[in-house]
């Protein structure tokens, strides 16, 4: 059976609603962390690309869900759909409140703050931007690199505050004082209300990013 690719619009919808949180991790343990993962077909029919049939699962739970085991009761479709409803509720609660409080403190209309999710790559990344009272922006970025060989993952995290200049927030890491290494640089370029492009320089030298972890790429605003 040839595998039909899930349409980009449906993929985006699932990624934006799940914010790359695994519904089984959340349902079983209340774990709401960003995870490297994949979009699973809940009825195990790869041709059924209805959004209702799709859920973002972490790599471990995706493997487990798809595996056929007679030893123990596997996850059921009803169970995962239930967790998915609860996860989506929890996420919209959490992120909608965040937006509400931000807006309340902002005198001016500002479309920059929000959560941005990277698209077009299996390696998850997200950037959370809030506006500070002094007018600068606080940026918290997380990224994951998933090994294609063993499924293991490396993580990276950056947090900083900076100004917005000509639709760009720029960050240069001066924490490494050794002369022989170039400074890491990150540029977040806001294209319109919903997109941002991240460009990096010298990422291979950044000790705060795990091996192969990158923040560069195209992001869509999710809240
Ligand atoms: Zn999981």
Cα 132 to middle of ligand 1, angstroms:
33
Cα 180 to middle of ligand 1, angstroms:
41
- Looking at residue 198, what is its pLDDT? 97
Cα 58 to middle of ligand 1, angstroms:
4
Cα 109 to middle of ligand 1, angstroms:
37
101 — pLDDT class (breaks 50, 70, 90):
very low
Residues 8-45 as b/e (b if ≥16 CB within 10 A, e otherwise) read eebbbebbbbbbbbbbbbbbeeeeeebbbbbbbbbeee
Ligand 1 ion: residues within 5 Å (CB): 22, 24-25, 58, 61
Q: Is the pTM of this model over 0.75?
A: no
- Looking at residue 67, what is its pLDDT? 84
Task: Tell me the pLDDT tens digit for each residue of 106-139.
Answer: 434 478 999 999 998 888 899 999 988 888 899 9
């Amino acid at each position: 059976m040839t595998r039909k690719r899930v349409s980009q619009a449906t993929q985006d919808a699932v990624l934006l609603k799940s914010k790359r949180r695994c519904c089984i991790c959340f349902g079983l343990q209340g774990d709401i962390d960003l995870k490297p993962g994949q979009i699973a077909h809940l009825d195990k029919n790869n041709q059924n690309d209805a959004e209702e049939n799709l859920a973002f699962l972490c790599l471990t739970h995706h493997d487990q869900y798809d595996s056929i085991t007679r030893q123990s009761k596997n996850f059921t479709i009803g169970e995962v759909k239930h967790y998915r409803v609860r996860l989506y509720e929890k996420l919209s609660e959490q992120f909608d409140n965040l937006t509400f409080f931000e807006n309340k403190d902002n005198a001016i209309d500002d479309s920059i703050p929000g959560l941005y999710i990277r698209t077009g790559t299996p390696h998850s990344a997200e950037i959370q931007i809030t506006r500070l009272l002094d007018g600068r922006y606080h940026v918290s970025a997380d990224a994951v690199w998933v090994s294609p060989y063993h499924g293991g993952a490396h993580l990276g995290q950056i947090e900083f505050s900076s100004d917005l200049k000509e639709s760009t927030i720029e960050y240069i890491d001066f924490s490494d004082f050794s002369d022989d290494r170039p400074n890491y640089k990150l540029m977040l370029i806001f294209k319109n209300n919903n997109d941002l492009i991240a460009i990096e320089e010298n990422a291979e030298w950044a000790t705060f990013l795990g091996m192969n972890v990158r923040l560069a790429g195209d992001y869509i605003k999710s809240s």
